[in-house]
Amino acid sequence: MDKSKRLFLKSKRSFRRRLPPIGSGDRIDYKNMSLISRFISEQGKILSRRLNRLTLKQQRLITIAIKQARILSSLPFLNNEKQFEKTELTARTTTTSLK
């Protein structure tokens, strides 16, 4: 094939557009805990924009809503439940082995 013909060939990959995670009817607010919880990791960190597939404006609004919910204590700053479970398990095993 000539180089000129190769330029006009379409790629064989199909492109599927993903749906946005926030619908047009969803309101980004600190009270909407079901929406906010989708954008927080298991450790309580705010997920990045690339993982969330949000626009820049939506990511800013989500970040502000999460911070407001944390300040009003409706959302914890850290999620240390797993760390407490691990320390309890290690404490139990050490005390049983000492007896």
- Distance, in Å, from the CA atom of 77 to the CA atom of 29, rounded to the nearest integer, reads 17
Structure confidence by residue, pLDDT tens digits, 22-81: 877 788 999 999 899 999 998 989 999 999 889 899 999 999 999 999 999 888 888 776
Structure confidence by residue, pLDDT tens digits, 17-38: 777 788 777 889 999 998 999 9
pTM of the model: 0.62
The architecture (CATH level 2) of 33-97 comes to Irregular (4.10)
Closest C-alpha among 22, 36, 49 to residue 76: 36
Higher-confidence position of 71 and 86: 71
- Could you tell me the residue ranges of all domains in the chain? 33-97
Place of tokens 């309580």: 44
Q: What is the pLDDT of residue 59?
A: 94
